[in-house]
Amino acid sequence: MSSSSTSSKIRPPFTLKVAETKDEIEACYDIRIEVFSVEQGFPLETEIDEYDPISIHFLLSISIPSPPLEQSINSTSSSSSSSSITNNKQTTEKPIGTIRYVPKTSKLSRLAIDKEFRKFGFGKILVEGMHNWIKSNYLSNNLNIIKTNDGKKFIKIKCHSQIPVIPFYEKLGYISEGQEFDEEGAPHQLMIHEVEI
């Protein structure tokens, strides 16, 4: 096995955060449009919807080397010159994934990861990151808390899963509920998960 094959299986360093600035939210939209409209063929006009302004958007980025800061030619004398390149050892954040949580409906939606980076388990990172955010922020967002008879409390999260990714959500504790249904021309399944708080 070549070293490039081995290194391609190592998850690159990443950052997961709530998108707060206009640029961060637009980066989430760009990833969604690339995955859902360009790659999967869903209508572009329905990708950004009425829930976006009231949602929590999570942005997953990886660190990539920044391009060189400058390239200059230094003359040491009039007859000879040497080329000197100053390399920047800094990194830049490249947006590669997103997920949206709609507090009003307690719905996970718009989970999208750049095709090149789907082999690294970033879908799980995004869903678990969203779950952790819910656990930490349920009070300030007035989320509907459900109490069980034994005193446990949880938030019920729903998602409309595309049929091929049902097993992915099942591994994260989501359970299918009801019959398959059509959403924007593709079969989907309602899935429910209870996040204990």
Closest CA to 65 of 94, 85, 31: 94
| CA atoms of 110 and 44, how far apart (whole Å) | 13
What residues contact residue 1 under an 8 Å CB cut-off, 6+ apart?
none
| CA atoms of 111 and 174, how far apart (whole Å) | 14
- Does this model's pTM top 0.85? My answer is no
User: By three-state DSSP, how is residue 43 classified?
Assistant: coil
Predicted local confidence at residue 146, as pLDDT? 85
Predicted local confidence at residue 145, as pLDDT? 81
Predicted local confidence at residue 80, as pLDDT? 43
Predicted local confidence at residue 155, as pLDDT? 93
- The runs of H, that is alpha helices, within the chain are 3-8, 22-32, 122-137, 166-171
Predicted local confidence at residue 76, as pLDDT? 47
Q: 178: part of which helix (H) or strand (E)?
A: none
| CA atoms of 128 and 135, how far apart (whole Å) | 11
User: 8-70+82-196: which CATH number, 3.50.50.60, 3.40.630.30, 3.40.50.300, 1.10.3210.10?
Assistant: 3.40.630.30
Contact criterion met (CB below 8 Å) for 187 and 181: yes
Model confidence pLDDT, tens digit, residues 59-114: 999 988 877 766 544 544 444 444 444 444 688 899 999 999 999 999 999 999 99
Q: Which parts of the chain register pLDDT below 50?
A: 1-7, 72-73, 75-88
Q: Name the token pair of 182.
A: 């059509």
What ranges do the domains of the chain cover? 8-70+82-196
